[in-house]
Structure 1
């Protein structure tokens, strides 16, 4: 029961302090102004990630304190500390970006610093699943691959945060999935941290679901991305089992595939991978004439699909068929949305009018 209480504590704390966070955001200028690329038409406080970070942090610390006698069975205290370093470190970078609009290169550089600290404390990837090859030991490549994973997932969640309630809901689903995987692996640390993140994410939906009262901002999306990426490492336990090592990629298949397709379309279009535009899955769904709420629900369903598939993979390799179908569906939505944009709205880019 104490483990389940962690979820409730995180949800309660976020709902309690979010109104205060909103007032602080207005006071200190953490406000997201509308522009041609964004989907809102009035200034919005973008500091909600503070509530998510505080809620998840408090609940996680309480849960670890409750289970202090058993948590070291799977992970060392340094590894647990590394999780908090990753989450809070990425949160600080995002919060600074919310306030001062850091350049992409500076953000990546700071993410590399946070990754090095977390890696030195024990948050490390040692194996990489490669289809058709198997599980490959990384050896000296552990640090760069860990950076690609942590920074990649963090930025993928940041890019997904484009509609009211979207990133928070997808994070809640993914975190509950990692909790289920942790339960099946009897990994108390993964369960506690996953439930604290899930509770904080679902608690924030009270203020972020349509019509949103405030946004989580880059601070929030960086925090949830860093935590989800870290949970992916914890839950696999750096196993040499191909299916177990591949689970984090399946759980987070939606934001990862979205990022890959967006980067690919930008590069093939002669643009920088960091070029801001409207190529993400939620933009494509809106161009296919789905409403904002319907687009969010559709993406939730895809996230649940990935969650069920990940758990199914623990028992049968036939679950990989679901992964292939999900990838094909996302590719279809990507191409259909791009064709609609080309025929109806002109080139995809920041100059294109935002949807109402």
Structure 2
């Protein structure tokens, strides 16, 4: 039965995205919700200017509808389902406001960093308080060791760091056609396997719903992209994957399964630190996928390479948690 639930969920999520995308793309074009390309970005990206963005709305709709339909059919939704939807929608709303300001109000940077951070912290704290109400464990375990630590009320700081950090890390990864859609599908697929192995049906269904949604979106987001996900989708997916890891009590393994997102973030941190301390850049441009563009790799080569790296990380994460 569980196998059928997983298959039907991924198919439903895929179909909803594939059906909605051709409806939303012309709608976004009519509203002139086109992507503005920053001047400091790779010159090859200028031709992408005007491509409809905020396609993450389709992904969000697909995830929410698929999750509630499938969980409602095979089980009774619990607090896990509502928390997953709350964080995903909360971060998606922040992304939507960011995109709206960029494309409608023509402020290319969108929300200020402080505004975005405050919004992310508010969602994270509410999430923590709800967990506390249900006596959720504040213990963090380190994979491959017997070491664990109870953070107590300090767990709220960890949750803020994890949700804010991974939402921004996933956001940084959304820089090439199909890059985030593919890496997100792989990472959420890995967590679906782990949730399944832990008999966490709701979290498995949600994770697979995300896989179906982003794969359906990839049909239109693959190079050359007809629509971009925008911060609406990337911030939502980042918050969602951190929430999945927290609810499964697999917080630390997210560093491995989400290795591509971590590498993208580290590349930016190293670049900024190096430039501020020495005046020299380590990479030609960050996040690191832009570095490979500037040394002559084709967009497809970069995307497929990053997908492959993400798949290796995902398999390692599953192997460590399930077989070790």
Aligned residue runs from structure 1 range 12-91, under 5 A = 12-38=15-41, 39-41=45-47, 42-69=49-76, 77-91=78-92
Aligned residues of 1:157 and 1:221 also touching (Cα < 8 A): yes
**What do residues 159-191 of structure 1 show as CA deviations (whole Å, max 9, x unaligned)?**
000000000110001111111111111110121
Aligned residues of 1:207 and 1:213 also touching (Cα < 8 A): yes
Deviation at 1:196, TM superposition (A): 0.2
The answer as to 2:115 corresponding to 1:106 is yes
Paired with 1:209 and 1:264, the residues of 2 have a C-alpha distance of 29
**What do residues 94-128 of structure 1 show as CA deviations (whole Å, max 9, x unaligned)?**
01000111101100000111112222222867233
Deviation at 1:234, TM superposition (A): 2.2
Paired with 1:103 and 1:26, the residues of 2 have a C-alpha distance of 26
Paired with 1:268 and 1:128, the residues of 2 have a C-alpha distance of 32
Partner of 2:260: 254
Match of 2:184 among 171, 177, 185: 171
Q: Secondary structure at the match of 1:44?
A: coil
Partner of 1:127: 139
Q: Which moves more between the two structures, 28-37 or 104-113?
A: 28-37
Aligned residues of 1:82 and 1:117 also touching (Cα < 8 A): no
Paired with 1:79 and 1:278, the residues of 2 have a C-alpha distance of 39
State how many pairs are aligned: 299
Deviation at 1:259, TM superposition (A): 0.6
Q: Secondary structure at the match of 1:270?
A: helix
Paired with 2:127 and 2:319, the residues of 1 have a C-alpha distance of 30
Name the Cα RMSD after superposition. 2.1
Greater RCO (CA < 8 Å, at least 6 residues apart): 2
Paired with 1:133 and 1:257, the residues of 2 have a C-alpha distance of 27
**What do residues 266-303 of structure 1 show as CA deviations (whole Å, max 9, x unaligned)?**
123229xxxxx931121122233211100000000100
Aligned residue runs from structure 1 range 144-183, under 5 A = 144-183=157-196
Paired with 1:125 and 1:32, the residues of 2 have a C-alpha distance of 42
**What do residues 11-62 of structure 1 show as CA deviations (whole Å, max 9, x unaligned)?**
1011111122223323334221223234242311111100000011110001
Partner of 2:301: 294
Paired with 1:254 and 1:125, the residues of 2 have a C-alpha distance of 28
Deviation at 1:130, TM superposition (A): 5.7
Partner of 1:194: 207
Q: Secondary structure at the match of 1:45?
A: coil
Q: Which moves more between the two structures, 27-36 or 221-230?
A: 27-36
Aligned residues of 1:79 and 1:121 also touching (Cα < 8 A): no
The answer as to 2:321 corresponding to 1:310 is no
Partner of 1:137: 150
Q: Secondary structure at the match of 1:7?
A: helix
Distance 1:125 1:160, change over 3 A: farther
Uncovered stretches (5+) of structure 1, i.e. residues with no partner:
72-76, 237-243, 272-276, 318-356
The answer as to 2:10 corresponding to 1:7 is yes
Paired with 2:28 and 2:166, the residues of 1 have a C-alpha distance of 26
Deviant stretches of 4+, over 6 Å:
none
Q: Secondary structure at the match of 2:253?
A: helix
